[in-house]
Structure 1
Amino acid sequence: NLAVALRHIFGIFRLAAQLLKRHIRIHTGEKPFACLVCEQRFSRKESLKCHTRTHTGEKPFACSLCGRSFSETRYLKNHTQRHTGDKPFACLMCEQRFSRKESLKCHRRTHTGEKPFACSDCGRRFSQKGKLIHLTRIHTGEKPYACSICGQRFSHNPSLNTHTRTHTGEKPFPCSDCGQRFSQKGNLTIHTRTH
């Protein structure tokens, strides 16, 4: 049917135009999508949607093996690799293996000493972008992560996750020697020394 074929062709052109428009924003720096809570801006609608979950605490993607929930599918995928033990990315210098390509890239900086992320306020340099973002929020006082239970706010997501466990009682870090479980990885590390 000609009408169906034409609709299909126009649909493809419309999609191509949308993808091109989104790609051009990489070069122009245009960020037309603004968060209504903190006014942070994004170039993609999907990025804004994911960011909004940092304010709402929504975590719609759950691990089928342990039930732990995540705000984005990429975090769930990374988490799932911990269950499988799959670490396909190896460091050529020390042969340490990683489940994520980004983790390997960050690890390589421990060998090179590279610190490409600099704070514009105090000049401190970091090997990881996340650490720079965290420091910047300390300077500005920004706390975009809110507990959905009590409303307490945090400057970075790991602090919120740790805090949330005080409400849920979740203890995701088990001792491989005795099975005792902990809510924080640091407490597990301290406990492991007793063995």
Structure 2
Amino acid sequence: MQTHAKCHADVKPHRCPHCTKTFANTSYLSQHVRIHSGSKPYSCTYCDKAFRQLSHLQQHTRIHTGDRPYKCGQPGCEKSFTQLSNLQSHRRQHNKDKAFKCEYCHRAYSDSPALQVHLSCHTVKHSRAFSCTACRKCYTSETYLMKHKDRKST
């Protein structure tokens, strides 16, 4: 729990030797230092591009493999994307046609019955009663709260 609490504190003891930036852990510092050194340790096996972060290489590799893991899910829409941000942008296009908007979270629906079903997730029965004392994030079950705490403590 103490490790989890540290990730929410604004304590950043790891200082970059090249500039004034500080970081909460050595992993973030190492990633940042690559900006100064120009180090790009993650190389594409399909072309000559290299990247500072593994996640950037993984994202780039999808250009070559055709992998599109982010699927729309809208009935009748078969679109998929290489990046989550592109899917999120695409979903906003679908929402333009939906006049029934949730007043709590602003999700949109094409008809009133669908909105009514959604609204049930905002009732007391489905409220987010389990909250993290360190960051105030709320969860619908103790299990989800514990998973959050476990992720933050590693």
**TM-score calculated relative to the size of structure 1:** 0.41
CA contact (8 A) 1:81 1:99 kept: yes
CA distance in 2, matches of 1:110, 1:38: 42
The equivalent of 1:11 in structure 2 is none
The equivalent of 1:91 in structure 2 is 72
The reply to whether residue 57 of structure 1 matches residue 38 of structure 2 is: yes
The answer for unaligned runs of 5 or more in structure 1 is: 1-16, 114-195
CA distance in 1, matches of 2:59, 2:36: 22
The equivalent of 2:5 in structure 1 is 24
The one of 73, 87, 96 equivalent to 2:54 is: 73
Residue aligned with 1:38, SS: coil
The equivalent of 2:87 in structure 1 is 104
The reply to whether residue 46 of structure 1 matches residue 27 of structure 2 is: yes
Residue aligned with 1:50, SS: helix
Deviation at 1:91, TM superposition (A): 2.1
The one of 17, 21, 35 equivalent to 1:36 is: 17
Structure showing greater relative contact order (alpha-carbon pairs closer than 8 Å, 6 or more residues apart): 2
Deviation at 1:112, TM superposition (A): 5.5
CA RMSD, Structure 1 to Structure 2 (Å) = 2.6
CA distance in 2, matches of 1:45, 1:110: 40
CA distance in 2, matches of 1:45, 1:37: 15
Relative to 1, partners in 2 of residues 1:33 and 1:102: Cα closer, same or farther, differing over 3 Å? farther
Deviation at 1:75, TM superposition (A): 0.9
Relative to 1, partners in 2 of residues 1:90 and 1:52: Cα closer, same or farther, differing over 3 Å? same
Deviation at 1:35, TM superposition (A): 1.6
Deviations 1:134-192 (A, max 9, x none): xxxxxxxxxxxxxxxxxxxxxxxxxxxxxxxxxxxxxxxxxxxxxxxxxxxxxxxxxxx
Question: How many residue pairs get matched?
Answer: 94
CA distance in 2, matches of 1:78, 1:33: 28
